[in-house]
Amino acid sequence: MNLALAAPIALYVFVMAITPGPNNMMLTTSGLIFGLRRTLPHMFGIPVGGAAQMAVVGAGLGAAFAVEPRLQLVIKFGGTLYLFWLAWKLWRAAGVPEARAAEPISFWQAALFQFANPKSWVLVVTAVAAYTTPGPDYVWSLLLVIGVFMCTTTPCAATWTTFGAALKSLLKDERWLLIVNRTLAVLTALTALIFWL
């Protein structure tokens, strides 16, 4: 196993995980509505779900995508529908108090969402293809990629959650909270559209 690959893996994962995408829009919204503490299960579900996704790709699903590209299309379509549904719910929330009555995304929901998240698939398939080494060290190199992935995505998720929670404390006026909520709804919908460009 080549531990020197840890730095380039971390850089790649950091760039992919810190930039806006479905997970980050959802974490910001959850931080805004529910606060940091209630968003922690969602926040930790993302790296665990991504690690499971990476293990599945490493076990051969990446090859299945190469053979059957329609499989990726189905995942992309499902992820897009979910993001549009989420954006619609955010938009229709009459205000933050009503949204707060709902429950935040759970650990398992966040973990499972990674399998419907097109950005997560791009990150995972690329990382496994680029940073694992074939041959007898394959499993160890896959474990290195998974470990670096988990260590890198967790602080990125925490950053977006904290940003949402900070917005909550800064925006005391319900009208501004509604504007921010609707802006996040539009950004979530745009995130879904970007995957089709």
Residues of the chain above pLDDT 70, percent: 89
Using left for φ > 0, alpha for ψ between -120 and 50, and beta otherwise, residue 35 falls in: left
* pLDDT bracket for residue 187 (50, 70, 90): confident
Structure tokens at 108: 């398992």
Task: State pLDDT tens for residues 34-56.
Answer: 999 999 999 999 999 999 999 99
> In this predicted structure, what is the pLDDT of residue 106?
96
Q: Is the pLDDT of residue 136 over 70?
A: yes
> In this predicted structure, what is the pLDDT of residue 195?
62
Mean pLDDT of 105-121: 92
Alpha helix positions (H), 57-137: 62-67, 69-92, 96-100, 107-113, 118-131
Task: State pLDDT tens for residues 22-35.
Answer: 899 899 989 988 99
Using CA atoms, how far apart are residues 133 and 130, in angstroms rounded to an integer? 8
Task: State pLDDT tens for residues 53-95.
Answer: 999 999 886 667 667 777 767 777 777 787 788 788 778 765 5
